Amino acid sequence: MPASSTSSAPTSAQSATDSAPSTNGHAAPRTGAPQNPIGRIPVQDVSPLVDGGARPAKAVVGETFTVNATVFREGHDAVNANLVLTRPDGSEIYLPMDCINPGLNLWVAEVTPDEPGYWTYRVEGWSDLFGTWEHDATIKVAAGVDTELMLTEGVLLLQKAAAQEGRSGQGRLLLDEAVSGLQNTSQTAMARLHAGVNRDIHAEMAALPMRQYISPTADFPLLVERERALYGAWYEIFPRSEGCYYDETTGEWVSGTFATAAKRLPAIAKMGFDVVYLTPIHPIGTAARKGPNNTLNAGPKDPGSPYAIGSPAGGHDALHPDLGTFDDFDAFVAEAARNDLEVAMDIALQASPDHPWVQTHPEFFTTRADGTIAFAENPPKKYQDIYPLNFDNTPAEAYAEVRRVIQVWIDHGVKIFRVDNPHTKPVEFWQWLIADVAKDHPDVIWLAEAFTKPAMMHTLGKVGFQQSYTYYAWRNQAWDLREYVEELAGDAASYMRPSFWPTTHDILTPYMQFGGLAAWKVRAALAAMLSPTYGIYTGYELMEHVARPGAEEQIDNEKYQYKDRRWADYDKGGPKEGQSLAGYLTRLNEIRREHPALHWLRNVRFHHVEDENLLCFSKRRILRNGEEDTIIVVANLDPHSTRSSVVHLDMPELGMGYGDSFIAEDLLTGAEWRWWERNFVRLGPEWEPVHIIKVRRD
């Protein structure tokens, strides 16, 4: 049921008795420390619950998720439960919960929050007076035991229900008629009982129940954010490469600018991307500057790594002079908005030896025993052009300075930040920073680029990061990918939203180096279909697959040099027309936009395929108008071989029975077949490596 439901909140008068048991008007004694009182009606194992409720569970506007709880009681009296949502304005919504496994006491309710902000939720267990009477009366009247007594108890109960505060006039009339039916001795006992337990009475008592011994949990936090926090397609660029060129006359490279990069925005938007992500755009230091392919012998004209931030021209709050002025940057952001693109900025909290902070805030860095500032290391790797920030020397000053820098970019229209290596900074710093920004800018989104220990990745999500990079690039076997996605879409989905990237400027796996066209297609398709948020690093369209020897990243990496991809060569009429995957990426993004089922993560379900190299999954969503949107994806993860196999669909997960069939429309090729529970597939480099199937019911 949506959170915007008009379900009314039961008042104290509707509860029939006090929420806590009493004897002769005196409350029962309560258990004290070291335990917490369990409640008259035990409510346990509430989920989603992040760190026991210490941090908020997450959802986005319009996303449906399930709240679960174990609710039970002693004896045989009926027990019931409801979910109470408190909206950001303080108003409450009561939603009924359903027991989905009688005897095992698991109660569930679906929630679809309809506005952003901080919500709370709690589960209330309660003794169900009507349910208890109905259960006992049905058994006894059928057996001819205590018949009149049970019918009389029903009369008294429904009379009390009719008098409940908040009962509508129509509801009172319905209950009065039931009372008359229970008292009508001209009818059989079973007919009299039916008058008090028919469908209309059930509906009325469910709408305004008689609740006894109400036992609420604590109010748990729920953070509801805008949809982009969960769903979006990113496209990464190095602004200096967009529009750069080699001047044959001078023998030097000419940098791209914000103005030339803006000319690329319509093509990015045309491919269907939602976010254009900029690698660092700040001044770059010259001390220990890296040369091409990460060498240590940079020439005077080599641009250096944009991650070595800071020079006499400024630091994190400044722009590289080659890219343009703040007016040029503002024009770029405005042009992105005209193309329905949001701008994401890279935040790398590190400095080159030339950064102004080295002089003005040397306490922001770690000083070694010899008096020098420590540069970044990941032994045996050394990054002599980068000084990591140290947040422990003067934390108040360091926190405030970073907060000031973030505000500079927010004031220039940036609402999304991709954070480089957040796992190398204190978690409590990120918790503070993200929360402080959210006070005035709740629509700001943070993506954690943290390829590190799972505990750190999960905790960064828990303390505020809306999205996280993942190990998707290295999960290339069907069983491994299924296991990973099920982990991400399970309990972790309440706090950590994955972003799938097949490649980045730092990552070019052997699978992508040697897999050929099939690999580049299947990895893009799986990223786009499995995860609501995915990203493409520019040049993916061109299948830039050659790695620097000894490294899993591209040779001639644009982290260290300009890269003129000559996009016009791939346009219609150009010398390389047809040699780009731009059309394929465009189709993937069209499918994502056309099918709301792909906007969610928690709805992914996997299906069995006889060949272990093939992966099959589906996503199903029931839309607000009642229509179903269901997508099935079957992919061959072996990029070198065409494989045939049989897919076994879990038909109930598709909303169908095992004897049903449907029209399977391949959204990539336009082909159609009739599919049942068992279906033959043939996928691979000889044709297409992926089916993206739209389920069409007859």
Can you give the C-alpha Rg of the chain in angstroms? 31
Tell me the residue ranges of DSSP E strands in 129-228: 211-216, 220-225
The two structure tokens encoding residue 14: 């509707």
Query: What SS3 class is residue 104?
Result: coil
**Rounded CA gap, 195 and 181, in Å?**
5
> What length is written for the chain?
698
**Rounded CA gap, 345 and 239, in Å?**
11
Helix (H) or strand (E) segment spanning residue 27: strand 26-27
Q: Is 225 among the residues known to form the active site? A: no
Of 124, 242, 274, 420, catalytic: 420
Amino acid present at 321: P
DSSP state of 52: G
Query: How far from 562 is each of 266, 295, 552, CA to CA, in Å?
Result: 22, 15, 19
> By the 8 A CB rule, do 214 and 124 touch?
yes
Cβ-in-10-Å burial (0-12, 13-18, 19+) of 60 comes to buried
> By the 8 A CB rule, do 281 and 344 touch?
no
Nearest to 523 by CA among 633, 373, 679, 675: 633
List Cβ neighbours of 274 (8 Å cut-off, separation of 6 or more): 228, 232, 233, 234, 340, 341, 342
Amino acid present at 442: P
Helix (H) or strand (E) segment spanning residue 331: helix 326-338
Maximal C-alpha separation, the chain: 109
Of 124, 225, 449, 688, catalytic: 449
Q: Is 564 among the residues known to form the active site? A: no
Long-range contacts of 263-270 (CB under 8 A, 24+ apart): 264/237, 264/567, 265/332, 265/335, 265/336, 265/339, 265/341, 266/339, 267/567, 267/582, 268/235, 268/237, 268/339, 268/341, 269/339, 269/340, 269/341, 270/586
Active site residues: 420, 449
